[in-house]
Amino acid sequence: MTSLEFTDQVQKISYSLKPVAMNLTRDADDAKDLVQETLLKAMLNKDKFKAGTNLKAWLYTIMRNTFINNYNKITKRNSNIDSTEYFQYFNTDENYITHNGATSDFVVTDINAAIAGLSADYRTPFMMYYIGYKYLEIAEKLQIPIGTVKNRIHIARKELKQVLKTYAPGV
């Protein structure tokens, strides 16, 4: 299917999208925006459409998924958690809180020892990942395949879990 044929078919079907968008949004302006966003996504992703399949169903799926994603964004943004009840029972008097510095020193010492005990082949990618490098960046810096990077980080984490299992809660 050529780009011109695709555009022509999408334009013919676009008139049937507005009632569906209106049903989803219950607002005329939001429905127009949803249709416009759907058509934009369809045009940008026309290479993903397989000729011979149902174009109308493909457009409806794009519209539905766009609506759901927008709805989820709005509800996440507007959700407020009222924590006043929780803080009512929270004891803020510093006299009742004690910190055991020795315990945290032991934990840090054990973690550092466990990391130092790793082979350099595993320790280097693991520490780079821990610092914040992405897999691809690590692979490029160490000049090894990305699959090897992922594998080495996985093995390092597995070994650290084994060595530090005494600190695992409920195990």
Span 22-38, pLDDT tens digits: 999 999 999 999 999 99
Structure tokens at 62: 């794009």
- Render pLDDT for 99-152 as a digit per residue (tens, 0 to 9): 566 667 777 888 889 999 999 999 999 999 988 899 999 999 999 999 999 999
CATH code matching the domain that covers 95-170, chosen among 3.40.50.150, 1.10.10.10, 3.30.360.10, 3.60.10.10:
1.10.10.10
**What is the pLDDT of the chain when averaged over all its residues?**
84
Answer yes or no: CATH 1.10.1740.10 is held by domain 1-83.
Answer: yes
Q: Say if residue 50's pLDDT is above 70.
A: yes
Asked if 23 and 34 touch (Cβ cutoff 8 Å), the reply is: no
Average pLDDT over residues 51-55: 89
C-alpha distances in Å from residue 38, one per residue of 3, 34, 44, 72, 130: 17, 6, 10, 17, 39
pTM over 0.85? The answer is no
Per-residue pLDDT, 52 = 85
Give residue limits of the domains in the chain: 1-83, 95-170
